[in-house]
Amino acid sequence: MMDRVVVSRSLFSKYRNINKVIAENEHVKEIIVQPGSYKHPIVLSRSVEICGEGPEGSIELNLSDEVGIRMNTYFVKLRNLTISHSSAMKKHCAAILVLKGKLIIEDCVIKSNYGVGIHVLNEGTEVILRRCKIYGTKQHAILAQNGCKVTLEDCEIFKTENPGIFINKSQLYVRDSRIHSHGTNGVVIENGGKATFEHVHIHNNGYPNVWIGDIGSEATFIHSHIYNGKDGGVKVVKGGCVTFKQCEIYNNNSYGVQAIQKSIVVIGERTQLFGDQGYGIRIEEDSKLDMKHGKIYDNNKGHVYVNRSTDVYIAFSEFHNGGEGIVFVDRSAGTIKDCKFDKQEKYSVKNIKDSEIIIKNCTFARSNVGVWGAERAFIEIQHSQFEDHQDKALFIEKYSKVKLSHTNFYNNLFGIDFAEHGEGTIDDCTFQHQHQSDVLIRWASDPHFQNCTFERSKGIGIIVYGNAQGKIESCRIGYHEESGIKVTDGSELILKRCDIYENKKYGIEIEEYSEVYIQSVHMTNNGRENIRCATDSEMIEENSENIKSDTDFSKDLFKQFFGHEPLSKTTESSREFTDETITDPNLLEILSELNSLVGMNNIKRHIRETMIQTEVIRERAAFTGKNNQVVAGHIVLTGNPGTGKTTVAKLFGKLYKAMGLLSNGHVVQTNRSGLVGQYIGHTAPMTQQRIDEAMGGVLFIDEAYELYKKASSNDFGEEAIAILLENMENRKGEFVVVVAGYEEEMNDFLESNPGLKSRFTLHFHIEDYTPDEMIEIAKKMAKDNEGLVFQEEALTLLKEEFIRLWRKRDRFFSNARTVRNYVDEISKAQMLRVSQMPKLLRTKEVMLTLTYEDVEKVLAKENEKVFDVPINEQMLKEVMGQLQSMIGLEGVKKEIKKLVDLVRYYRETNRSLRDMSLHMMLVGNPGTGKTETARLIAKIYEALGILERGDLVEIKRDDIVNSFGSPEGMMAKYVEKAIGGTLFIDEAYQLTQYGAHDPGHKAVEVLLKEMEDRRGQFVVIVAGYPEEMKKFLASNKGLSRRFDLKLEFVDYKPEQLLQISEQIVKKRDYVLSKEAKEKLLKYYKYVYEHRDETFGNGGFARKTVIESIKNTDLRVSNMPKHLRTEQVAKTILPEDIDCSVSL
């Protein structure tokens, strides 16, 4: 009985036919196939392993029947075989047909000139392929049908005429593989088939790279790349579903992803779509899109196209640099939340033909048009930001409607344009610094504005013309370069309870047969007149102040044009709550403090509403005897530094105490360090202690997301979260938890534990302060600081500085903290100024006034750097000599010589170094001398007088991300240490190597900000492998701008490696014999010719030499002592090289 037989094509082999062995030897479990060509078809009728024994490709099964290998048994394993199938049958033929059982194929090559590579049938059948190639098949490389399962690991499927992989009512799992260059699709999944792809590249296929069809068909892509599809990336039809996690879909000829006919697309976890010739995503015919944390950019036509689909949800995503942003067409609907739009060529969002969208907490910037509603569209926008648009920030036309609230418009050409019957309600919005007008109302449009601020446009604030109508209530309109409001061309406007002030021309202009009704309007300090009404136009006024006009517009005439009697205060059908609604003295005290805060309109509104609820509940209790108290909710505060999150937490403590919801109302402030211990058993008591301290009040946890360390499985922060949740549940109503931090990180924190979201019922985002708000804060801080006041000229100059800071702000923008720093410095400058004045001139006004001179002193830029420190020629000569002594690096030496010459020239011509690139990127494979060169560059900068010191602070990822402390804090710490010298980040790409949510990104943002804010104070040099450094630059657009000076370190040539070896040998007092040199050079040539990106260069040469020295010492130690002369002991021979390296 034999378990194992050998099949060979040799003349005297006992077994020459694989199929015959299987048929005639039922006990054989393993068949070893030796090199040769085998032409008999194989029937696998029982379990067996067939393994090729020989070099790759030397065992070839040339099979010509309809089916080359037919499997109908429980288990078979094929390994190291080349299976070539050809058949006269052009249909229903296959290289391998699996009807039953489990087939494992490893290290094989499969091809078929007419049929399928592998055809898998029937439920329960399973095929696993590892390290295989299937190509050149006429039909599919893999065809799976009727409930079977196929797994591919580290395989390559390519160059078939039909779809490479076809999955019908079966399962597919693919990992670490490539599917490419097929005549049609790379993968087809239909009829309820399901597939998962991990770390897979699918590219360069004739039709869409992937096609998914029919209800129940699903595909999930994880860490995969789909690109260069000749007719698209992924297409989903007839109810299919596709999910992407941390994928890249790019450079497809048509679209990135398309879903039609009630299909579903889920995009999440940092998936990117870019470079597609059409739209990145197309959602059509009642299909669904769920997109979170995606990034879409550089798509030629646009990013997302939605047609006749009503289930679209897009959140926490970014859209950059497209022809169009997101388009909703023909009765479509969706929600866009917490997204950023930047630099679209046409528009960021367009909604047309009876479509409806909701937009929340989004930022729109630097496009032609921000959001466009056209042809009966409806748009709702909340808590968003529009800035720097080349045309209209918001365009509503052709019977479209908008519902807009709590949104800012800043520095656009126009804020909002209503045209051709556009309508809408706009509540609690701010318009500032538009280049033309804040609002256009034209061509029969009719919007309603309330509680808005319109200030400082370069044209007219609000223009109404072309038979348009409008209503403006409880608004502020001021500081415009022309008039506040202009109504013309047969239009009508109602103004109620507004302030119109400080406009350079008129408060209101009325002309060309237009009518305006004004009620309870206050006008002050408008340049020419508060109101100008042409003789062909009419105006009526009630209960207003400072109205001045020669026109008397009767109520009868008003009714003729407006269709109703003028409204009086007593006949209004409804009344808004005001501060007078509140009578409780404790609440009124909190209200006073609330009103003193700048900005925070959403929080102010919530607190006022909560106060009103309290008053109403108390009044109602007098009649019912029941007191259904308002619940004190736990709170999430998001926003950048300095936006007042701590102040808000304290305010809620006072509010809840006044309402009787908390017994004390005090605030216990803490962070991760106050809750999480360093050792096992420390966290629970620390967290519980803070909670106990907060009982009856507020526990305020700043940067709460630091409790959750996603990358660590041994972190104690999760224990603190669990204890916190337990107390929030068991001691409900006894204390309130307020968590605060950056918005994106706080969202991740809430997602990290299912209990967090449900516990925190109140969410507030605090926007960055606008320049005008920063000025208000500065005035308040100055007043609180010994009653200081600013001159108007000083405020104008300070505001210019705040606008500059605001425009370049990022997520680390410090808001009120920045204002505090400026006020403190201006106060110091004022004290120095008045200290030099005679005491007789130090009047109260002088002592308490901050002047233009004081602000100018603080804002004065540093004098351009003058080369008053001479170049240290001796040091420069020594360092350049060290550089020249380094082997190779000719290109690097040349570039550094250019830099030195350029600095000399700039010195001679008194030019600033700001015109030069001083930060550097060093790219090259391991061991090419990058670190040593960085040390020399630091010394060269010191010798040239560019830097105070030649110190090189060397760091890697582990110093930033895995150290104790936040990545931002650690990076700031090392930057501070490098001031006056050079910061060197080796393998810098590792900072962002784990995708968009890698914590290293925060460190990079801090680095970029420090490089900008502290320009000239230090130099940054980053280094790494070429391909990885390209990805590093692509991870943040600011990097390529900062590191535009690149030095490339090429691999050392064999002769240079030998030179390096001789230097190392010489330093250790050894010598290479002539024969050893020849042997070593021969070896280096061999390694050089076969090198890859891991080639160690100088490090490899060092290792080789050190091993050779060890071998020399070992050889000498075995010699008789009398033969161990110094020359013998220190000479490396060829056999020493042979012992350490292998040719």
* Mean pLDDT (whole number) for 35-49: 92
The share of the chain scoring above pLDDT 70, in percent, equals 91
pLDDT at 268 over 90: no
Q: Count Cβ atoms below 10 Å from residue 1007 Cβ, excluding itself.
A: 26
Contact 144/157 with Cβ under 8 angstroms? no
Q: What pLDDT was estimated at residue 925?
A: 87
Q: What is the CATH number for 892?
A: 3.40.50.300
> Which DSSP helix (H) or strand (E) runs through 603?
helix 601-624
Q: What pLDDT was estimated at residue 808?
A: 65
pLDDT at 916 over 50: yes
Q: Are residues 603 and 703 in the same domain?
A: yes
The verdict on residue 1090 lying in a domain is yes
Q: Are residues 1015 and 1043 in the same domain?
A: yes
φ/ψ of residue 342, rounded to 5:
-150, 130
Lowest mean pLDDT among 83-92, 177-186, 374-383, 434-443: 83-92
Give tens-digit pLDDT for 493-550: 999 999 999 999 999 999 988 999 999 999 999 988 899 998 888 888 876 666 654 3
Which residue, among 429, 379, 376, has the nearest Cα to 403 in the 3D structure? 379
* Cα 313 from Cα 300, distance rounded (Å): 23
* Cα 634 from Cα 100, distance rounded (Å): 59
* Mean pLDDT (whole number) for 149-164: 95
* Mean pLDDT (whole number) for 858-865: 56
Q: What is the DSSP letter of 495?
A: E
* Cα 611 from Cα 657, distance rounded (Å): 12
Residues 6+ apart with CB under 8 A from 952: 934, 935, 938, 981, 982, 984
Give tens-digit pLDDT for 253-266: 989 999 999 999 99
Among 725, 743, 766, the domain-final residue is 766
Q: Count Cβ atoms below 10 Å from residue 839 Cβ, excluding itself.
A: 6
Q: What is the CATH number for 1109?
A: 1.10.8.60
Of the two residues 752 and 459, the one the predictor is more confident about is 459
**558 to 442, 514, 515, 555, 562: CA distances (angstroms):** 21, 11, 8, 5, 6
The verdict on residue 302 lying in a domain is no
Helices within 731-815 (DSSP H only)? 743-751, 754-759, 771-784, 792-807
pLDDT at 866 over 50: no
Length of the chain: 1143
pLDDT at 861 over 60: no
* Mean pLDDT (whole number) for 1079-1087: 87
**933 to 882, 898, 938: CA distances (angstroms):** 10, 15, 9
**pLDDT level of residue 602 (50, 70, 90 thresholds):** confident
Residues 6+ apart with CB under 8 A from 664: 657, 696, 697
Among 1049, 1075, 1110, the domain-final residue is 1049
Q: Are residues 148 and 135 in the same domain?
A: yes
* Cα 893 from Cα 900, distance rounded (Å): 11
* Mean pLDDT (whole number) for 698-707: 86
Helices within 944-1053 (DSSP H only)? 957-960, 967-978, 1000-1013, 1026-1034, 1037-1042
Structural domain of 1087:
1054-1140
Give tens-digit pLDDT for 1099-1141: 888 888 888 898 898 889 888 888 888 888 999 998 888 544 4
Of the two residues 584 and 33, the one the predictor is more confident about is 33
Q: Are residues 618 and 700 in the same domain?
A: yes
Q: What pLDDT was estimated at residue 551?
A: 37
Q: Are residues 1040 and 1096 in the same domain?
A: no
* Cα 984 from Cα 932, distance rounded (Å): 11
Of the two residues 714 and 529, the one the predictor is more confident about is 529
Give tens-digit pLDDT for 797-811: 998 888 877 766 666
* Cα 233 from Cα 221, distance rounded (Å): 12
- In the chain, what are the helix, strand and coil shares in percent, each to the nearest 5? 30, 30, 40
φ/ψ of residue 192, rounded to 5:
80, 10
The verdict on residue 320 lying in a domain is no
Task: Please report, as a single letter, which amino acid is at residue 298.
Answer: D
Q: Are residues 974 and 1085 in the same domain?
A: no
φ/ψ of residue 142, rounded to 5:
-135, 130
The verdict on residue 552 lying in a domain is no
Task: Please report, as a single letter, which amino acid is at residue 572.
Answer: E
φ/ψ of residue 328, rounded to 5:
-110, 125
Tokens 């479990």 belong to which residue?
29
Residues 6+ apart with CB under 8 A from 914: 864, 1015, 1016
Strands 982-985 and 446-450 come out as unpaired
Q: Are residues 629 and 722 in the same domain?
A: yes
Q: Are residues 789 and 641 in the same domain?
A: no
Give tens-digit pLDDT for 207-250: 899 999 988 999 999 999 999 999 999 999 999 999 999 999 99
* Mean pLDDT (whole number) for 424-435: 95
Contact 938/981 with Cβ under 8 angstroms? yes
In the chain, DSSP finds a helix count (H) and a strand count (E) of 28, 80
Residues 6+ apart with CB under 8 A from 826: 794, 798, 850, 854, 855, 857, 858
Q: What pLDDT was estimated at residue 552?
A: 38
Burial of 98-109, coded b for 16+ CB within 10 Å and e otherwise, reads bbebbbbbbbbb
Segment of 416-430, 998-1012, 1099-1113 carrying the highest mean pLDDT: 416-430
Residue 152, token pair as written in the block = 């591919």
Residue 630, token pair as written in the block = 């308002």
Task: Please report, as a single letter, which amino acid is at residue 1062.
Answer: E
C-alpha of 1080 from chain center: 50
pLDDT at 579 over 80: no
* Cα 526 from Cα 851, distance rounded (Å): 26
Q: What pLDDT was estimated at residue 572?
A: 31
Please state whether the predicted TM-score (pTM) of the whole model is above 0.85: no
The verdict on residue 578 lying in a domain is no
Output the average pLDDT for the chain.
Answer: 86
pLDDT at 90 over 90: no
Residues 6+ apart with CB under 8 A from 380: 357, 358, 359, 402, 403, 404
The verdict on residue 355 lying in a domain is no
Residue 901, token pair as written in the block = 């010459």
Residues 6+ apart with CB under 8 A from 746: 636, 638, 704, 705, 739, 740
Which residue, among 242, 262, 255, 142, has the nearest Cα to 207 in the 3D structure? 255
Q: Are residues 843 and 890 in the same domain?
A: no
Q: Are residues 637 and 731 in the same domain?
A: yes
Q: Are residues 1031 and 1115 in the same domain?
A: no
The verdict on residue 545 lying in a domain is no
Three-state SS at 103: strand
Q: Count Cβ atoms below 10 Å from residue 331 Cβ, excluding itself.
A: 14
> Which DSSP helix (H) or strand (E) runs through 1104?
helix 1098-1117
Q: Are residues 805 and 734 in the same domain?
A: no
Burial of 947-981, coded b for 16+ CB within 10 Å and e otherwise, reads beebbbbbbebebbbeeeebbbebbbebbeebbeb
**pLDDT level of residue 863 (50, 70, 90 thresholds):** very low
* Cα 610 from Cα 630, distance rounded (Å): 8
The verdict on residue 641 lying in a domain is yes
Contact 1009/908 with Cβ under 8 angstroms? no
Of the two residues 621 and 12, the one the predictor is more confident about is 12
Q: Give the start-end residues of each E strand in 361-475.
A: 363-365, 369-374, 378-382, 385-387, 392-397, 401-405, 408-410, 414-419, 423-427, 430-432, 437-442, 446-450, 453-455, 462-465, 469-473
Q: What is the CATH number for 54?
A: 2.160.20.10
* Cα 790 from Cα 794, distance rounded (Å): 6
**CA-based torsion, 533, 537, 538, 543: positive or negative:** negative
The number of distinct structural domains making up the chain is 5
Task: Please report, as a single letter, which amino acid is at residue 556.
Answer: D
Dihedral angle of Cα 638, 639, 643, 646, to the nearest 10 degrees = 30
Contact 404/381 with Cβ under 8 angstroms? yes
The share of the chain scoring above pLDDT 90, in percent, equals 44
Among 708, 737, 766, the domain-final residue is 766
Q: What pLDDT was estimated at residue 766?
A: 84
Contact 274/296 with Cβ under 8 angstroms? yes
* Cα 1054 from Cα 1097, distance rounded (Å): 9
Contact 923/1023 with Cβ under 8 angstroms? yes
Residues 6+ apart with CB under 8 A from 1106: 1064
* Mean pLDDT (whole number) for 569-585: 44
Question: What is Dmax (Cα atoms) for the chain?
Answer: 131
